Amino acid sequence: MEITALDIVNKAIELGFDKCGIIPVQMMRDYEVRLEERMEHFPQTKDKYESFRSFAHLQNDYSLAKAIVVVSFWYGKYYIPNNLQNYVAKYYLTDGRRNPNSEGYQTSTRFEKYLMDCGFQTATDRDFGITALRWAGMKAGIGIIRKNNFFYTEKGSYQYLEAFLIDQPLQYIPLPSTAPTAPSSTMVRRSAVKHWTTTLMCLALTPITSPSTDRCKSA
């Protein structure tokens, strides 16, 4: 059974993610350039950021890595009781990375199972993130990074991101229907807005053949 990048994107949305894009791992290389710029401007951060270089060279740690599937989960849909407002950040109250009973956690594990059932080798880091998630999300066309360094989609900044490495060179960069209007941050600069507004939908829908025609089933 042939699985395309669009099949993966549609499944991610069906399972509960808000947005999904897929990029080749090589598209993370310029993250290192921006990282070096940040360390040059703020030398005191070098010890902290030096280890982040690995995010730009994923194949060094994950030989299987050919592409990155980036997904966003919109937690702005949840109502926070008034007695918790201004005391605990909404992100921490709704973060589904660790609570197996949460909607976000179950969406993530179902999607990971779907990828494996389709015959992909996969890798992810649900706690910390397997790469620089906001940069990957911007490259994948699902949002931009604004001046406050938050990641925004058409629905705003109440999004948390996940990334899954896969062993096939697929690519899907959607063209959003509405671009956020604020300029990008210093680290991202104008390239983020340019990337957001000029990216062509579905640059490549390279099909693959699943090892077994009956393995690609819904989780």
The percentage of residues in the chain with a pLDDT greater than 90, rounded to a whole number, is: 57
CATH code of the domain containing 97: 3.40.109
- pTM assigned to the model: 0.79
DSSP 8-state symbol, 152: E
Instruction: Name the residue range of residue 126's domain.
Output: 2-209
* Structural domains counted in the chain: 1
Task: Let me know if residue 215 belongs to a domain.
Answer: no
Output the pLDDT for position 213: 35
Output the pLDDT for position 198: 38
Whether residue 150 is predicted with pLDDT greater than 80 in this model: the reply is yes
Task: Let me know if residue 36 belongs to a domain.
Answer: yes
User: Mean pLDDT across the stretch 48-57?
Assistant: 94
Average pLDDT, the chain: 82
Task: Let me know if residue 218 belongs to a domain.
Answer: no
Buried b (16+ CB within 10 A) or exposed e, 35-68: beeebeeeeeeeeeeeeeeebbbbeeebeebbbb
Task: Let me know if residue 219 belongs to a domain.
Answer: no
Lowest mean per-residue pLDDT among 53-67, 74-88, 154-168: 74-88
The residues, ordered by sequence, that sit 6+ positions from 173 with a Cβ below 8 Å of its Cβ are 21, 22, 23, 139, 140, 141, 199, 200, 201, 202, 203
pLDDT tens, position by position, 14-42: 999 999 999 999 999 999 999 999 999 99
pLDDT tens, position by position, 73-122: 998 888 888 888 788 887 788 877 788 888 999 999 999 999 999 999 99
Treating both helix axes as pointing N-terminal to C-terminal, what angle do 5-15 and 103-117 enclose, rounded to 10 degrees? 150
Output the pLDDT for position 76: 87
Rounded CA separation 161/71 (Å): 6
Task: Let me know if residue 19 belongs to a domain.
Answer: yes
Task: Let me know if residue 77 belongs to a domain.
Answer: yes
Task: Let me know if residue 216 belongs to a domain.
Answer: no
